[in-house]
Structure 1
Amino acid sequence: MSYLIPIVAIPALLAAALHDVVARTIPNRLSLGIALLGIGLHVSAGDLGVALAAAVLVFLLAALAWWFRAMGGGDVKLLAACALLPPPAAVPGMILAIALAGGALGLLYLALRGLPAAPRPSLSRAAALPRRALRAELWRIRRGGPLPYAVAIALGASLSLLA
């Protein structure tokens, strides 16, 4: 069953990342679905107690970051849910991969901060929505807005699941 985890989890992580980029929120149903997937895996593997302890520890540390306004509440829930996906011993490696992806995302946003505003070409209605989302994200970047950290969570967790 563990081979199905990336097949199901990665699209959910991608959806969370896209939602975070567009709306700066992460739907609770995505975090809950990822958590339930991980719980099902650990029930079948017989290590649910250890996996839940690891996820609670990740949640508490991320909640501390939220307390100091270094992380959003949706990111905290998504991160804790992702901690249920790998075997408990692999959680620190996944957290490291997420932190490295977050660092890369932060550097990218810093590099893009000096970009000028994009011109507004006329586009078909189908192409207009992605273009508007990109313009809105570039506007946030230029103004030093918060990072959509679900992108880093999705990337780091996905790479860990595929490794």
Structure 2
Amino acid sequence: MYSTFIFAFWGLLLAIGVSDAQRHRIPNKMVLLLLIITICHIFLYGIEQWMDHLLGGLLAFIVSLLFYWKRAMAAGDVKLLFVVGLWLGMDKLAGASACIILAGGVIGCFYLVQFLALSGISWQHNIKSYYYQRVSFKFQHQTRLVIPFAPAVVIGLASYNYFY
């Protein structure tokens, strides 16, 4: 029974990562199902540490909500990180967050290189337009670089579970 929750959690998390990579959307139904699996897992196997899990979820939610308010993260990512923080608990959250951030940086570099390669514009022009966009509020770039964060959550969480 224990492994059923683990497989369901990882299978659904993988589906969420693929959905975000393909469509840049995290379906609310999938996050809700992941939340139900997480709550059932906590109540069946970790009820004595429920406060640790709740604090982990709340801390992940508050930090990611700050990023959402700064427009550095989407709302689906905030909900997903709440559930992941709830699953991990406070004691595992710091290590897993470091792995998720590292995976996000690597994935972000790949998306940036792909974006620059497909834009057909030189690196110098892209850098100049980036600085001009930051200085002038009137300038709007034609295309936006969108980097899905759910794949970074999946890869970072998997690497954390593998290495620690």
In structure 1, the partner of 2:140 is none
Contact kept? 2:60, 2:81, Cα under 8 Å:
yes
Equivalent residue for 2:73, pick from 71, 74, 77: 71
Q: Deviations over 1:24-51 (max 9, x none)?
A: 1101121122222222222221211221
In structure 2, what is the equivalent of residue 23 of structure 1? Answer: 23
Mapped pair 1:55 → 2:57 = yes
Q: Do the aligned partners of 2:55 and 2:89 also contact (CA within 8 Å) in 1?
A: no
CA distance in 2: counterparts of 1:14 and 1:145, whole angstroms: 23
Q: CA RMSD, aligned part only?
A: 2.1
Question: Aligned partners of 2:3, 2:100: CA distance in 1, in Å?
Answer: 21
| Residue of structure 2 equivalent to 1:94 | 96
Distance 1:51 1:41, change over 3 A: same
Larger Rg: 1 or 2? 2
Q: Which has the higher contact order (CA 8 A, sep 6+)?
A: 1
How many percent of aligned residue pairs carry the same amino acid? Answer: 28
Whole-angstrom CA distance in 2 between matches of 1:160 and 1:39: 21
SS at match of 1:96: helix
CA contact (8 A) 1:6 1:158 kept: no
Three-state SS of the structure 2 residue aligned to 1:30 is: helix
Instruction: Indicate the SS of the match to 2:105.
Output: helix
Q: For residue 83 of structure 1, what is the aligned residue in structure 2? A: 85
Q: 143-152 or 108-117: which moved more?
A: 108-117
Structure 2 portions without partners, runs of 5+: 120-142
8 A contact 2:56–2:88 mirrored in 1: no
CA drift of 1:87 comes to 4.4
Structure 1: which 4+ aligned runs deviate by more than 6 Å?
A: none
Q: Tell whether the 8 Å contact from 1:38 to 1:81 is kept in structure 2 after alignment.
A: yes
TM-score normalised by L of structure 2: 0.75
Structure 1 residue 9: Cα displacement: 1.6
User: Once structures 1 and 2 are overlaid, which stretch shifts more, 57-66 or 84-93?
Assistant: 84-93
Identify the match of residue 103 of structure 1 among 102, 105, 119: 105
Q: Is the 8 A contact 1:39 1:48 kept in 2?
A: no
For 1:35, the aligned partner's letter is L
Give the distance between the partners of 1:2 and 1:94, measured in 2 at CA.
Answer: 21
Gaps of 5+ in 1: 118-142
